[in-house]
Structure 1
């Protein structure tokens, strides 16, 4: 723990007797010890500068760590000065030094003494600034990203978390266009999305994180779980093939999602149960254009996106595509 630097105004005396270069104590004139600060061993100290009476040009800076009457216990040769022999009547004063200035809370010091003093000193300083428990509050301290199954262990100092997750997107269908017609599959539905705020004290950690995989042809996307606290069902596969001998083919590209989207935290945003209107796709020269799945609700639109649809000319088989996998992000705050 860093010692507290003490100081007194106009504290000055002279040496009552000479000292050697190796001495660890000195005496000042009788009765003048009371002019100086009173340090507590292991807690505080003050600066003492000795100045030769003969020329006034030779100095040594010491740290006084204890006082008994007029006798000082000292640490010699501080701030680049050299311990030397001193004579009676040389000046001993509590002067301002470069070290004194640099120990103050100024910009170039960057609070380094508090940082170096350890956790207890840092907590005390934060309490002085208004923190109820001596910790920094509300700052983002880490982000943990899961693109595969894993285990969530909170970063030290985490108090609250925001969990943002999406499950795997559904696959599109495989099928065959009837002879003389065009056919295809709508896209799969995107995975469920949820963004919730949790107080870490309400969560048992470490916990298992499951990230849903993309649904293969004709199949649902995989579910995403944040332990027992968040559950997101995978996206539905496309609901039906479509075919037509007219100039376009029609299909419900985004069926209702039947999966459950739950969270025990405070839900900030979520998606579930949406329906979309019928999508028409123009046919050019007897070949259907592709059904393209839109972006998912997850920022960036790629994670959890449903599979694109497929198409084929009459009598041709088509193979469904795989949806995109899910993702989970934990934003950790102090």
Structure 2
């Protein structure tokens, strides 16, 4: 774990601290302990942030206990961030995730952090791929979680994506740490919990233990392919733009389907379509304006935006 973290931290730009997002579970607690060991040896300040979602009895006390441990380990700054989950759109899992990332990004900006460290493991990556398969996701969804993703200028870093979850538990045991077991992780009301406790173990039993690493490797391979296709799409989008602010239908029709749909997806987001609500069906409807045109009306996009075909152009 320390070697995996060292690879991510070595050469990380900026002089600000790295902040570990730590719930107190085995994965993030082991990552925080590794950070407390590795970061000072690299000359990098390191702190810890624990988010209290307020969804379970005793959550505030657990958050304070994690913060107290972090201070004793020499991590600085250390912050407890209470967040409000109720009243957000979407289910409880998505709402909690949105609130958590908002809080993490805000505190990272306040400290001018070089990055926020997240404790997702190889097992988490395999679960993400299985969930994406179940949803019928394309290559972007199947590429799973990236090791680095910048959100409004804040790098979110996942050093443990090649580390099995068993190693984080073993690290906690070796260090004498007592991680918290979140009951939500085994609650069948959540799809990820059902994958973790049922679907993935069944695959391991049927296909062997290598299935977890193979699923995670698939995500990495698809991520590389996606990056190449996205670069082609960026160039193609610039080529098919028109002076009227639309896109050339003839230019779009000449693109490979994998590039064309990426162009349409990127353009829809430029128009203001809500990213979380922009689905395959919306992009397919835009694509039909190019490839299956029979005089149909405009396509309605999330966020109350419309796209129509007129005189050989797609226009907002």
- Give the TM-score taking structure 1 as reference length: 0.21
Higher share of residues assigned strand: 1
Structure having the higher Rg: 1
